[in-house]
Amino acid sequence: MLRSQPPARALAIVLALAAGCCFDSTTEGRDGGMANAGTDRGANPPACALSRFEPQVAYATGLTPEAVAVSDFDGDGRLDLAVVNSAAPSESPDMPSTPGTTGILLGRGDGTFAPQVAYPVGTSPAGLVVADFNGDAKPDLAVTNGADGTVSILRGRGDGTFAPQVVVPVGTSPAGLAVADFDGDGRLDLAVANSDDGTVGVLLGHGDGTFARQIAYPAGTNPQAVAAGDFDGDGKPDLAVANSAEATVSILLGRGDGTFAAQIAYPVGARPMALADGDFDGDGTLDLAVANFDDGTVSVLPGRGDGTFGPQTVNGVASAQPSPQIAQPDSIAVADFNGDGKPDLAVADWSGMSAATVDVLANQGRGRFGAQVTLPVGYAATSVAAGDFNGDGRPDLAVTNYDDGTVSILLNDCTP
């Protein structure tokens, strides 16, 4: 199915939960917005002059995949994939919308994956997060359903299968979501960007896979993505929200009891669709990277460590399409792709009806990224996640292709 505009969603964070399988770049209260997972098997490989990846291998998903996340769902020490398949609403008023699914592709440990097994969720699912919501040390899933105003919780059985969804109401047109322990009770909670409400909803977890009713906090106009991280260094997770219709990011500082202070907004580029946090300038405080869809840029907001941020540094993303087509960054992932010890960026470039790309930008320090590597994927790339899929210690890429109904796997062939 072809579509001229990006889906109203943003890839949320991934928690890699299986002990020993993954480097955790999304530690609760610290790097909660980083969409990555990988392995920590032995010494790090030497640094590369430039990130290089093998050509994509595409795997079939469901209809119009929106988001991808990484974890070890069957406990075999190999990273697997979860893909949200949105299944677009019917164009006929006499026919109901088609429910979406979440597809699970189990990894074989060599960079290849088994065919997907699909689990029903709600209508027009958008965002996805992986975390252990019921305390059984097995990764579960939370999926936002944009047309239903709900979140589906799928409890993992630890063998790669999932129990039927449990549906939790949230706001109108939920998009991205994030996870952290917002009230300090040792149980994971959820934050959801309700795009049509202009709010971020916080749902406190009971520790058994169920959640309290959401408490909504005002954000900006049309929020699409949310990330959790400790931006003021008080050990309590805060929230960052990308507001696509007003080109801002809202910061809501957490009080540690499940409540949040009023938002403070920072200007970024045009139509921010995704964001991730990390220490991009090496000063020991969290910064933000924001994918701006309408002007083909990534904004980096340097954190000051007190919950405030400095002015944005704008990094251009070059398009692989003929001029005047510009890049359309729609999702962002963070990992050290070239082994130099600095977090780099991978950006999914939607590219409309053209063949899309994923663009890897090397960290040059001080919030600036360059030396872009442009990698072909399928049509209309919607999301990107990083993980070590073949066990060589280097982060690889998974990219969902909305118009193809596929997920592309690109193995990192980083050679010094």
Distance CA 68, CA 78 (A): 16
Q: What is the mean pLDDT of each run of 10 residues along the chain (416 residues)?
A: 44 33 29 37 54 91 96 98 82 66 98 97 97 98 97 98 98 98 98 98 98 98 98 98 98 98 98 98 97 96 98 91 81 95 95 83 89 92 98 96 96 84
Which of the 8 DSSP states describes residue 16?
-
Chain length of the chain: 416
Q: How far apart are the first and last CA of the chain?
A: 41
Tell me: cis bond preceding 343? Omega within 30 of 0 counts.
no
Q: Which residue has the tokens 């962002």?
A: 332
List of residues 6+ apart from 239 with CB closer than 8 A: 178, 191, 200, 226, 227, 228, 250, 251, 252, 254, 260
Displacement of CA 227 from its chain's centroid (Å): 9
Rounded CA separation 281/287 (Å): 8
pTM tops 0.85, yes or no: yes
How many whole angstroms from its chain centre is CA 181?
Answer: 18
What's the CA angle centered on 65, arms 315 and 137, to 5 degrees? 90
Q: For residue 176, which of 275, 105, 89 has the smallest C-alpha distance? A: 275
User: What pLDDT shows up at residue 90?
Assistant: 53
Strand 313-316 relative to strand 329-335, pairing: unpaired
Structure-derived torsion over alpha carbons of residues 2, 3, 7, 8, reported in degrees to the nearest 10: -150
Q: Is the Cβ–Cβ distance between 295 and 273 less than 8 Å?
A: no
* pLDDT at residue 353 in the model: 62
Query: What pLDDT was estimated at residue 415?
Result: 72
Give how far Cα 306 sits from Cα of 29, 233, 273, 303, Å.
14, 7, 25, 8
115 vs 111: CA distance, rounded Å: 13
pLDDT of residue 27: 27
Query: CA quadruple 235, 201, 169, 37: dihedral positive or negative?
Result: negative
